[in-house]
Structure 1
């Protein structure tokens, strides 16, 4: 086991991220650079929230989120859950929380999600159903995770995963990216306040360095297997109606509007579309701050042409994971166009003063906490 961690340590040098002051973590759009209408609401948006969709618009948002090192999404095939997802009977979330499984590389944010479950999920009894986990910012899928294997998920994949503070250290990709940009790809047919936010405290670290789980060979130690998530970005929308009805109302409306702006760019990916590049949209459970609905978290890779995912640059970038995690709140349907155009594609924020809650930038070595 120690040799495996030593192998992982060679991937990345330790670095303590700096807490960024408001206005320095992410770049705000600039009309002089991004166009005069860069900070305007979408004029063609016809979707609106219900008339009684009231939220807090006065509180200061930035910096009031708990820090996290890794974010794990557990596939459930559902868009709503019991109030505390750790109480979902027979679930991986229950196994992680009730057994006190805490990663060694920092706080874990654990979310149930509407990612589709594998076919065999329905062929097993509750408590034995295998499902899929997505580890962020590593962009790594782990397949066939059962409650009994939750410990393996944490030990062999989350503990060794990239974190929100992992430095890039990727001069090889820097050289390749010097001449590439993230551009839309042709449309193709889909292939086969500090509230509780489901973050768990970090256990004492076994190592101050981390590595991608794909760099390790655990086949002799666990039956679980990982594979890269090849999306260029994912958009996470809180949809948990049992925690706040506004989340159940806003998530499907925002998904429709995000899809409307992603599809013409060839970037929309539905739940079963794992083609390289593009943007996945997932519903997740409570993340905190429902009075600031809608909460939207964007994990994005560096500016890389999605078609390059099968090239040398793409293969190197897969190991790099998400460079930024941008947590927005008070998002309305008319904000979706700007979020796609500037946040998802460029890593910029349109309305940081009123919408930015926090996040991380691994390229700058900055976090909001």
Structure 2
């Protein structure tokens, strides 16, 4: 029995029904909106690109909780939008090298569930903090490396909201030790020099769209349509939408000469300034699970929040841009789960 199903049984199926999800999320300090996730009429009169007739989507299974918690998620530069079935099985790849560099995953602790009403009310499937798991989620991405040498990858590290430039497959153990180990704070080691060059991601939002055709053709169909819809919507609101990384002229974080505390403040100041840039990065990525809920869309914000949406079509993109990317509010109807989205006392996910 899955943890999601077990939680559903403990909470009672009614807790996961749509009319109660809004209440549960709001009571947990998650900034939500009750507006319709579809902003256009049905049938659509705005020219949004439709999925093919045989594009099947699961509307029967419970969406909320259909994802696995993780500590960090990385996106490795490949310049491609499709990959081998299992990216960590690709010989001599950075994904494979990082997977081999990880220590054995410890056996999960036995689950102890309180059956009292108070404890049950605090448990929302799919909603977690970055400290709730030690798992590293390894993805390949469509972005090209910023390094001159193609074998030196550029790796996005999330929710840290940084990118590490110049990583070869042979560097995987060092990347794990200084950046990816679950015991490290949000921005990795700050007390020693690194062999890499890392930077704060210079975007107000990162949008990941699963496009892994060798896993499921539905994501290969949905990703380009959603990408175009996001670009159209964002540019219509005065934003710039990028599908590749930009070269950064500022010195890397490794060159910062102050104390560890000063470096943390410096990074925090950079992150807080990012929403004003009105720039979004849109990448296609490898398998994240839940293809039956295509299109799959993952949003990262500089504040450290990660929002997973499923069953996304071009008709929902405008609402996602308006309410989540600009407004910092979660759309419960589309929510598969999220990291660091419970923010009691904060009106939006953009607040710190």
Q: Work out whether the TM-score is over 0.5.
A: yes
Q: What is the TM-score of this pair, normalised by structure 2?
A: 0.68
- Check if 1:136 corresponds to 2:158: yes
**What's the offset of the Cα at 1:38?**
7.0
Q: How does 1:207-218 map to 2 (within 5 A)?
A: 210-213=185-188, 216-218=190-192
1:358 partner SS: strand
RMSD of aligned Cα (Å): 2.7
Residue of structure 2 in register with 1:152 after alignment: 174
In structure 1, the partner of 2:33 is 29
User: 1:211 deviation in Å?
Assistant: 4.3
Inter-partner Cα distance in structure 1 for 2:55 and 2:37: 26
Cα 1:103–1:284 change in 2 (3 A) is: farther
1:86 to 80, 85, 88: 88
Q: Do 1:229 and 1:274's aligned partners in 2 also have CA atoms closer than 8 Å?
A: no
2:247 corresponds to 1:270: no
CA distance in 1, matches of 2:288, 2:213: 12
Contact 1:293/1:329 (CA < 8 Å) preserved in 2?
yes
1:297 aligns with 2:298: yes
Distance apart, 1:88 and its partner CA: 2.1
Unaligned runs of 5+ in 2: 1-22, 107-130, 249-273, 346-352
CA distance in 2 between counterparts of 1:38 and 1:356 reads 11
Per mean C-alpha deviation after superposition, the further-off stretch among 102-111 and 336-345 is: 102-111
Structure 1 residue 100, shift from structure 2 partner: 3.4
3-state secondary structure, aligned to 2:171: helix
Question: Aligned partners of 2:174 and 2:322: how far apart in 1?
Answer: 39
Does residue 347 (structure 1) correspond to residue 320 (structure 2)? The answer is no
Does residue 261 of the first structure (1) align with residue 233 of the second (2)? Answer: yes
The answer as to whether partners of 2:160 and 2:186 remain within 8 angstroms in 1 is no
Which contiguous aligned blocks of 4+ residues in structure 1 show a shift greater than 4 angstroms?
20-23, 101-105
SS at match of 2:149: helix
The within-5 A match list for 1:1-369 is: 21-23=24-26, 24=28, 26-30=30-34, 40-41=39-40, 43-101=45-103, 106-118=134-146, 120-122=148-150, 129-159=151-181, 205=183, 210-213=185-188, 216-219=190-193, 222-264=194-236, 265-273=238-246, 277=277, 278-301=279-302, 322-350=303-331, 352-353=332-333, 355-361=334-340, 364=343
Report how many residues are paired. Answer: 264
Q: Could you say which residue in structure 2 is the equivalent of 1:182? A: none
Q: Alignment partner of 1:348: what SS?
A: coil
Question: 1:235–1:279: 8 Å Cα contact kept in structure 2?
Answer: yes
Structure 1: which 5+ runs fail to align?
A: 1-19, 32-36, 123-128, 160-201, 302-321
1:154 and 1:102 mapped to 2: Cα distance? Answer: 13
Q: 1:268 to 1:349 in 2, by over 3 A?
A: same
Report how far residue 362 of structure 1 moved. 5.5
Deviations, residues 127-147 of structure 1 (Å, cap 9, x unaligned)? xx2111010111111111011
| Kept after mapping to 1: 8 A contact 2:31/2:330 | yes
Give 3-state SS (helix, strand or coil) of 2:83's partner. Answer: coil
Matched-pair contact (CA < 8 Å) for 1:231–1:274:
no
